[in-house]
């Protein structure tokens, strides 16, 4: 098994873990177990960051995966992928904002942002896992060149 096969599974596991930790953290906040909430949410943020580091490393050094399904399904997949990328970007910005508000003890705003951020993050994780299933389990495609090769002619 190569890095090309292993890294997507590892990174997808981290995004699933981050969503599970956010769900646990949200539950702890509702129960007013705020110290535990903080620790679990930081662990969720760390899992999301590990996902991002692995994903970007794979993109730069190994390459991504081309769609392996039929040409007829490709526009639907690309639309879904675009939706996931927008959700992930919004979720990341909202997540950083929510964490910052918590660290600055602006708890009223933190609570408002946190409710929205959590829901966005759950959908991000679900769509990310779906992208993994489509690209690596249902319709495996070939991978593209690493970004460094594309940029520097490797």
Which tokens belong to 82?
A: 């675009």
8 pLDDT more than 60? yes
Q: What is the pLDDT of residue 1?
A: 64
107 within domain boundaries: yes
151 within domain boundaries: no
Q: CATH no. for residue 84?
A: 1.20.120.80
Q: What is the pLDDT of residues 64-122, one digit of tens each?
A: 888 889 999 999 999 999 999 999 999 999 999 999 999 999 999 999 999 999 999 99
Check: CB of residue 128 under 8 Å from CB of residue 12. Answer: yes
User: Nearest CA to 88 among 133, 109, 73, 80?
Assistant: 80
Mean pLDDT value of segment 5-12: 89
Rounded-to-integer distance, Cα 107 and Cα 102, Å: 6
The residue that leads in pLDDT, 52 or 149, is 52
Range of the domain at 30: 3-144
Q: What is the pLDDT of residue 151?
A: 64
Q: What is the pLDDT of residue 148?
A: 72
127 within domain boundaries: yes
The number of folded domains in the chain is 1
What's the pTM value of the predicted model, to 2 decimals? Answer: 0.88
- How far are the Cα atoms of 10, 49, 59 from residue 14, in angstroms, in the given order? 6, 9, 16
153 within domain boundaries: no
150 within domain boundaries: no
Check: CB of residue 18 under 8 Å from CB of residue 123. Answer: no
Task: Write the burial class of residue 2 (CB in 10 Å: 0-12 exposed, 13-18 middle, 19+ buried).
Answer: exposed
User: Nearest CA to 58 among 127, 8, 133?
Assistant: 8
Residues 6+ apart with CB under 8 A from 30: none
154 pLDDT more than 60? no
Q: What is the pLDDT of residue 4?
A: 72
154 within domain boundaries: no
Whole-number percent of the chain with pLDDT over 70: 95
The residue that leads in pLDDT, 113 or 2, is 113
71 within domain boundaries: yes
149 within domain boundaries: no
Mean pLDDT value of segment 19-35: 97
Mean pLDDT value of segment 13-33: 97
């Amino acid at each position: 098994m190569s890095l090309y096969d292993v890294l997507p599974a590892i990174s997808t596991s981290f995004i699933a873990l981050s969503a599970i930790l956010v769900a646990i953290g949200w539950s702890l906040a509702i129960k007013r177990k705020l110290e535990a909430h903080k620790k679990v949410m930081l662990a969720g943020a760390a899992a999301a960051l590990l996902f991002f580091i692995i994903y970007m490393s794979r993109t730069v050094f190994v390459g991504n995966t081309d769609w392996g399904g039929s040409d007829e399904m490709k526009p639907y997949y690309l639309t879904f992928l675009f939706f996931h990328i927008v959700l992930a970007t919004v979720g990341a910005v909202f997540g950083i904002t929510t964490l910052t508000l918590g660290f600055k003890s602006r708890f009223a705003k933190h609570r408002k942002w946190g409710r929205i951020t959590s829901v966005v993050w759950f959908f991000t994780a679900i769509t990310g896992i779906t992208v993994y299933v489509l690209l690596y389990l249902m319709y495996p495609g070939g991978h593209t060149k690493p970004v460094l090769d594309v940029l520097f002619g490797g």
